Amino acid sequence: MLIDFLVVAPLEEEIRGLSSALGADDAKRYYEGQLTYFDKLVTSPNDRRVHVRVLKLSDSGTLNAAVQTLPLIVRWRPRCVVSFGIAGGFLEHVAYGDVVVAKDVWYYEPAKEAVDDKSGLPVHKNRPILFRCDQALIDSFWTTVAPSPVLPREGTVRYGPLASGEKLIAAVDSSSRNAIDMCHEKMLGVEMEAAGVAGAVQQCANTGCRLLVIKGVSDDAGSQMGSGKSDDRRQQRRDDAIANASEVLKPLVTNVDPGQHERPSVNPVHLRKLGAQFRECIPANLLPDFNEEHLRRALHGSKPRPTVFYHWTVLHEHMHWVDMCFLLLLCKFRTIGYPVHALITDNENRCHKNGVPAAVTVTSVLLGPDTPVTRKSQVWDIKHEFYRFAAAQGWRDYTPLPDAQSLEGLDFWPPFIAYCAQADERCIVLIWHRFAAAYERLRDIVWLEPVIVRTADILLGEELGKFGSPGKDIVIDPPLYGSILEWLESLPSIETLRAFTEYLGVGFSDDELSSQSLCDNGSRMLRDRTGTLAVLKDNGSDDPARFACIRRLLSILLEWNHLYFNQRL
């Protein structure tokens, strides 16, 4: 999973304050043993999706933070880990409500007990450990966020060293305070988790993980803190510190790119060419508007070209003409190097030929035997597996579309697509505009970069081509195509005929359609179609536009036979 920022905090009040700032109050909580986390997707000003995972530790303390954070960095491989929460401040350098962005984290507790060689008396020698926060991220933060911070409560963003250890500092003259002073004379404050988180990040240096520490000042680290636990003013200071720290973290995660993802770089010029090439595969009547930038983002993955998915529902004995249009689109994508995956809803077992839906046979012929073709009946028994998988990654419960003419499978295939796309972490989905909302929910999956290609709703005679007359009963039945020829004999309007021919002409230019094929093979296809022959004869001179349109349509059908069906069906 691609996690940009893993934010670690020990207290529930810190988690609540941060979730409120991120707009994640209703985010689903996930539980692993004593740990709790939630995910939030935020959008940067340049339209980059940022995945933030907020982890609540089971308890405070550096040791606990290290033990619980280390295996999760190895497992989740976040780009940046942020130790977040409240801290005690040294009020000679900071004030209540200030937010400390740590430059360094000093683990002040390591020490050596020895005997002085001269006096023979026991001596205590501090051996603090220094952890560096990521300077490049801090510089980026300082230039993009901190110059004009807008904090909800009184306070200032401070930059400097921060102490970390297991102890709660409650006296200015304690031995621990003396140890902290020996680390750095301008220490801003002290807290109890950052050193453990920093140590875990250091152990995982090979992952490219980076470290930030952001703490709000809620207490005076030199006062008798324990005596004020019930003080309303102290609770208010804690609330102020959490609110301010949250408001600093929010613009940081949206404006600062943590980088270092292990993704192969792609030349921007090459990306633009790939986006344009994809766009050119889809005729203007099917895709009047398309944002190539969305596609270029999806090409930044472990594989340069994500899988293209298309789902349709079997309604007839043969392949419906609308589904044939999209199947031809998949063929075009396949020829330019995109893997494709056909999804077929066959839950009523319609369209079967020798136990296999004829739609599957036609699909395999056009796309090739190596192309995945998944039928709903094949994976129905394991649907709970990919539903659980998708839900665990942020998938939200489905609400059926209000449109009565909805496609079967809209609540079934999106989780399956997410399940199939987990290796690539991105996908492309072709879907009619009116049903695209069901697939837009793929964006809820935190690590997935989906491209939802909203194609035009295919209309015929101003009705939805698959469900309304005259298009709902037209099917692809090669090699003679009786369904289409019967419709031609019903004398459809020239506008409807032209639209139908344009839809089925996906992938063919006029130069690619062989006139010789029409002369050689047209007579066999039309041998028993006296009605079609009569239409051709009557319109040859009386209606040249209709005649040209019918001639092109017949050429397309014969070209299909030549390319796909003659030898294979």
| Predicted local distance difference test score (pLDDT) of residue 280 | 86
Instruction: Tell me whether residue 304 is exposed, middle or buried, using C-beta atoms within 10 angstroms of its C-beta: 0 to 12, 13 to 18, 19 or more.
Output: middle
d(CA 350, CA 317): 6
Q: Is it true that domain 268-463 has CATH number 3.20.20.370?
A: no
The yes-or-no verdict on residue 373 having pLDDT over 50 is yes
| CATH 3.40.50.620 location in the chain | 268-463
Q: With cut-offs at 50, 70 and 90, classify the pLDDT of residue 538.
A: low
Q: What is the mean pLDDT of residues 378-407?
A: 66
Sign of CA dihedral 428, 78, 141, 251: positive
Contact 441, 396 (CB under 8 A): yes
The yes-or-no verdict on residue 386 having pLDDT over 60 is yes
372: phi then psi, degrees, rounded to nearest 5: -65, 130
d(CA 38, CA 52): 8
Mean pLDDT estimate for the chain: 81
Q: What is the mean pLDDT of residues 427-456?
A: 84
The yes-or-no verdict on residue 392 having pLDDT over 80 is no
User: Which of the pair, 271 or 200, is modelled with greater confidence?
Assistant: 200
The yes-or-no verdict on residue 403 having pLDDT over 50 is no
User: Which of the pair, 563 or 266, is modelled with greater confidence?
Assistant: 563
| Predicted local distance difference test score (pLDDT) of residue 242 | 95
89-139 pLDDT tens trace: 988 889 999 999 999 999 988 887 777 777 777 776 778 899 999 988 888
Q: What CATH number belongs to 5-255?
A: 3.40.50.1580
User: Which of the pair, 3 or 259, is modelled with greater confidence?
Assistant: 3
| CATH 3.40.50.1580 location in the chain | 5-255
Cis peptide before 402 (omega within 30 of 0): no
Q: With cut-offs at 50, 70 and 90, classify the pLDDT of residue 148.
A: low
Find the range with the poorest average confidence among 179-183, 298-302, 513-517.
Answer: 513-517
Q: What is the mean pLDDT of residues 505-514?
A: 65
DSSP 137-199: HHHHHHHHTTTS---SSS--EEEEEEEE-SS----TTSHHHHHHHHH-TT--EEESSHHHHHH
| Predicted local distance difference test score (pLDDT) of residue 382 | 84
Q: Select, from the ranges 220-224, 277-281, 295-299, the one with the highest average predicted confidence (pLDDT).
A: 277-281
| Predicted local distance difference test score (pLDDT) of residue 513 | 55
The yes-or-no verdict on residue 209 having pLDDT over 70 is yes
Q: Select, from the ranges 149-153, 347-351, 377-381, the one with the highest average predicted confidence (pLDDT).
A: 377-381
Q: With cut-offs at 50, 70 and 90, classify the pLDDT of residue 222.
A: low
| Predicted local distance difference test score (pLDDT) of residue 569 | 39
The yes-or-no verdict on residue 471 having pLDDT over 80 is yes
70-80 pLDDT tens trace: 989 888 889 99
Find the range with the poorest average confidence among 65-69, 228-232, 402-406, 440-444.
Answer: 402-406
d(CA 322, CA 312): 9
The yes-or-no verdict on residue 290 having pLDDT over 60 is yes
Q: What is the mean pLDDT of residues 401-409?
A: 49
| Predicted local distance difference test score (pLDDT) of residue 459 | 85
The yes-or-no verdict on residue 58 having pLDDT over 60 is yes
| Predicted local distance difference test score (pLDDT) of residue 31 | 85
| Predicted local distance difference test score (pLDDT) of residue 488 | 84
Q: With cut-offs at 50, 70 and 90, classify the pLDDT of residue 400.
A: very low
539-555 pLDDT tens trace: 555 678 888 888 888 88
| Predicted local distance difference test score (pLDDT) of residue 479 | 81
d(CA 492, CA 460): 10
| Predicted local distance difference test score (pLDDT) of residue 263 | 45
Find the range with the poorest average confidence among 106-110, 172-176, 308-312.
Answer: 172-176
Contact 183, 108 (CB under 8 A): yes
| Predicted local distance difference test score (pLDDT) of residue 227 | 44
Share of the chain above pLDDT 90, in %: 24
| Residue pointed to by tokens 């929460």 | 85
Q: Cα 89 to chain center, whole Å?
A: 40
